Chains A and B, each alone.
Chain A
């Protein structure tokens, strides 16, 4: 009896020691994530939450708040900062100028906002932002759409009418027309991120005028675009999250934002002391954006290995700066 107990104690002590060495660096690192939406949205917020869960499995001490309204954001963020969290992550554009303002008050702690740095503002050395390289991503998708197309044209449905949307639309058109000479690139900006009916008609309009591959850069407007395009027999490319379920047989791939990876990467920088704020972090295109189709990267029924290889070639050239969108 006593023999069994002793061996149990020895075993568990060994296990604790092994765990201890594995997560020694992370042992004291605490990470708080503030989300403007729900952890169950299956997109923007869910991705970041997955990253946080992975950190927890790696031994980080984590906390999060979801569905934090714009008005409550400052209080929630300051609450975590006052509690001494080593890293406070704000997930979205809502945190841009706030982090530039308050991070100075907590010089020992790190702040990371998953948006670009606010212009005309000095960024404190403990605040970090990220450059998603939206135009480069759009260029890649324009090239992929052109490679997938058997028709006369390909098109993109844009969301809110802002410089980012306009830039993405132009880069998509530019890439499509450069990748396959003679092919027409269309872009329709709906002016709205949340109007699915309008997204559907934007896609239908381009299909009626010869487009056979549709991509989108809009949340719910984009869901309508996918629905409209796939119901009319066109191929589609998803955006922001794995949207395979919307149209499994018409979807070539989805360009998913790797929010989980961003969250994990920055937390690890803080843990091993390599965190460096004061501006924008510019990760590789292939890190911020992942083409996904369920468990695979692309739909082999629509995209041949050869076409995918051609896309990856263009994608890596855009990443390295060898190809630079004019827009």
Chain B
């Protein structure tokens, strides 16, 4: 094969890093929520509505930063509803999440059509600037991957690291984990379980909304109601693979993204593997992740269990 191996590897790593961003943001959001005991299957819908808000905010204001802000706001706003259903109404978390995704799809399609109906179809939103470190960016293998990314990527990594610090080094983090492990004991220790869980679901909305913004403001500059394509669900798998640990989530998200990118890269070689098998790679990893092949992991003990103060 006449493709230089170095160029192949460099491109593969760079593509993996680019695909990591939105997966990581969604996973961090989901992880915070699950750590507090709330499984938010509705994250797919939150990401989609965040993407819509990012697009509209960015084209109306002309600034990608306003777009990202709008996405963060939208993510938290819709998660107010989810938090109410999960924590206050105490409805089944899985059912609410699935129904919410269907609802979000309908809302996004309808709103996009209604708002954009009269405007030409192809209107690109202003995108986040890329940071390019001169010299370092041209390094082989990791140069483009680490020193030539969108500014949003570096912010994403900071968010993941910051979440790890919050979760393991602050009282807030300790309280959050306590609520997800044994809410009764947490309540006895004076922690407001309901409030803590609501905060966690809102933080999940923040992560999901920003993940949506990532698609629009970093990757494609456009909104379509299909752009999320199940990546919210992949975030659920990443959280399990990362064992509910924000630092490991960085690696897990990168692992998933690199499988996605590998499925594309490998097609450049004339391998005797059908394309279908390559395209299925990331999903194979998802199945392996949730099946416990990578070691058994223990989820937060009170995950999916609504908290009743009087029982």
Q: List A residues at the B interface (Cβ < 8 Å).
A: 38, 40-43, 46, 161, 166, 184, 186-192, 194-198, 200-202, 204-210, 220, 223-224, 227-228, 243, 245-246
Contact = CB atoms under 8 A, between A and B. Distances in A.
Contacts of A197: 19, 22, 215, 219-220, 227, 229, 231
A192 B287 CA distance: 20
Given A220-B227, A243-B122, A208 B264 contact: no
B267 interface: yes
B121 A40 contact: yes
Nearest to B11: A208
- Find the residue from A166, A197, A200, A243 having the highest chain B CB count within 10 A: A197
A196 B261 contact: no
Given A161-B279, A184-B2, A201-B261, A42 B122 contact: yes
Interface of B: 2-4, 7-8, 10-12, 14-15, 18-19, 22, 113, 117, 120-124, 144, 215, 219-222, 224, 226-227, 229, 231, 260-261, 264-265, 267-268, 275-276, 279
A191 B275 contact: yes
A223 B221 CA distance: 10
Nearest to B18: A201
Given A190-B264, A197-B19, 12 more contacts: A40-B121, A166-B275, A188-B267, A190-B279, A191-B276, A194-B226, A194-B227, A197-B22, A223-B224, A227-B124, A228-B219, A243-B122
22 contacts: A40-B121, A41-B121, A46-B121, A166-B275, A191-B279, A195-B226, A195-B227, A196-B215, A196-B227, A197-B220, A197-B231, A201-B260, A205-B11, A205-B264, A205-B265, A209-B3, A209-B4, A220-B226, A220-B227, A227-B221, A245-B124, A246-B122
Nearest to B260: A198
Nearest to A152: B2
Contact of A196 (B120, B121, B224, B265): B224
Which 7 pairs across A and B sit closest by C-beta, in order of nearness?
A208-B11, A42-B121, A194-B226, A191-B279, A196-B220, A245-B122, A201-B15
A188 B121 contact: no
